[in-house]
Amino acid sequence: MDQIRLDKWLWAARFYKTRSLAREMVEGGKVHYNGQRIKPSKLVEVGAILTLRQGSDQKTIKILAINGQRRSAQEAQLLYQETQESIDKREKIAEARKLNALTMPHPDRKPDKKERRNLIKFKYDRQQGDNN
């Protein structure tokens, strides 16, 4: 198989759970092919560079093989290779997220009804003070 649509390849490589989700991501600009926005019907080529956004992560991968069938995760990983720069960047951002979570801890519990009212009142009073 030497020609396949981008949305089908993304599905077969297990980046997205369904083809329709892969199509939506491509149409939404979350996937770039060789640095450009493209359509889901774009035929992929071996050696092309894809940039994908998945949640808060951005991956840059190189297409190594083309397969239209969705197989196991181990076989799907043989279809592409993530660039070293992309791996380093993702690890750096993940570390920054972890450090940020340590400096901004979440409360042990949700505020109760009275505390929520006080918070809303405090925010409202503060906004009114900024407008004056």
**In what order do the strands lie in the sheet containing 31-33?**
36-37, 31-33, 49-54, 57-63, 80-82
Q: Write down the pLDDT at residue 44.
A: 94
pLDDT of the residue at 131: 67
Global confidence as pTM: 0.74
With beta carbons less than 8 A apart as the criterion, state whether 57 and 96 touch: no
What's the pLDDT score for residue 129? 72
pLDDT tens for the chain, residues 1 to 132: 578 999 999 999 999 999 999 999 999 999 999 999 999 999 999 999 999 998 888 999 999 999 889 999 999 999 999 999 999 999 999 998 888 877 777 778 888 999 999 999 998 888 877 665
Pick from 47, 48, 6: nearest CA to 30: 6
User: How confident is the model at residue 132, as a pLDDT?
Assistant: 59
CB atoms within 10 A of CB 7: 25
